[in-house]
Amino acid sequence: MTEITNQTPRHSLGRERAQDYVPETSFASSSSDLQATWQRVAQSSWTPENSFLSTAARSSESYRNRDRVQDGSVLNFAANEIPRVYEFKLNHNTGNHSVDASVVVPRGYDPDIPTRLLIYNHGYRTSAHAALNYSQLTEQMRWADPQTVLVVPEWQSRPGSNSPARGRSDEQGFFRNMLNEAMSKTPELRGKSLDSIASIGIISHSAGFSPTKAQLYNNGLGDKVTSVTVLDSMYNARAYDKWVTDNLREIASGRKQFQLIYTDHLAGQSNALETRVQQQLRRAGLGTGSVHSENGRGSAIVSADTLASHGFVFKRSSYTDRGDGSHGSMTRVYLRQLLEAERRRH
């Protein structure tokens, strides 16, 4: 077990390439096609790991004045209060990796209070280790309620690649066993299991839709999953239909949430899902007031208030961060927005 404490959040100085994702149709391509794709990626010489070689630690000035008041309540995080970060090798894994799962535990976590587990499934060309910094997950976890724990499982057989290979992770119960093992090795979570967790949220970015599907449907998580957030990850146009249908009334009432943030290249699939949701809501007599929809090419970020007050959110995004493309940039802001929205709901 390796614990990384007082980790300094870093950001990539490399520019995100537009083709940091591969549409789902390419998953069925021949091995020669996949090899050609990987060669093009390798020739670009861009990976989060390579770009980290040229990163610089942020000044502590950027962490001042973190305590603030919102909606009459103080957010309980202080300047430089960095969450604890653990990285583990696990028996339940998708390959021989240095890191099979990363776990981020906020300061102030109390094992005697109900725990929410937030699972982040990274996309291509990053890993369970690199995503903490490239997508600034550790930094964004400063906004977490102390009882929200982030887990980043390594679902790829070859982390950092453009390969869909994911070991045995599609098998029944794989992620349940993997998550339970990671929790058993995290000091603050020892003695806990998925059965004792109060609720689970899943975030899928890009190619992370594959492990998200497995987690939703192959691991007996059932009613534990109360939110699904899809960040430019609609490569399977029907991947989320069953979960949405099974939980339609709970989402419409706000007891559960489904959020879909997408860019231009996935607008067709995303808009089609929104249309199906609107139709289902009307047929069920629930109306469409629970749906927030922004289909224009807006660069604004969906506010925490909007996320907190709508069960369904559909947002077309052109937001970019430090010159990076909108596909990767959204990962650096929406964990924080979701965490703030969760605070406001409770």
Backbone angles phi, psi at 311, to 5 degrees: -70, -35
Q: What pTM did the predictor assign?
A: 0.80
Q: What whole-number distance in Å separates Cα of residue 160 and Cα of residue 255?
A: 35
Instruction: Name, in order, each residue with C-beta under 8 angstroms of 150's C-beta and a sequence gap of 6 or more.
Output: 103, 104, 118, 120, 137, 141, 144, 335
Assess if residue 73 is contained within a domain: no
Domain boundaries, position 231: 2-6+28-55+87-345
Flag whether 15 is in a domain: no
Closest CA to 342 of 87, 114, 131: 114
75 within a domain of the structure (yes/no): no
In a domain, 232, yes or no: yes
Q: CB count, 10 Å around CB of 62? A: 11
Query: What is the count of structural domains for the chain?
Result: 1
List per-residue pLDDT tens for the chain, 346 residues long: 444 433 333 333 233 333 333 333 333 333 344 334 333 333 333 333 333 322 222 322 222 222 222 232 233 444 447 899 999 999 999 999 999 999 999 999 999 999 999 999 999 999 999 999 999 999 999 999 999 999 999 999 999 999 999 999 999 999 999 999 999 999 999 999 999 999 999 999 999 999 999 999 999 998 899 999 999 999 999 999 999 999 999 999 999 999 999 999 999 999 999 999 999 999 999 999 999 999 987 899 999 999 999 999 999 999 998 778 999 999 999 999 999 999 998 7
Say if 12 falls within a structural domain: no
Give domain status of residue 202, yes or no.
Answer: yes
The answer for residues whose C-beta is within 8 angstroms of residue 239's C-beta and 6 or more apart is 209, 212, 213
The CATH number given to whatever domain includes residue 140 is 3.40.50.1820
Phi, psi of 121 (to 5 degrees): -100, 110
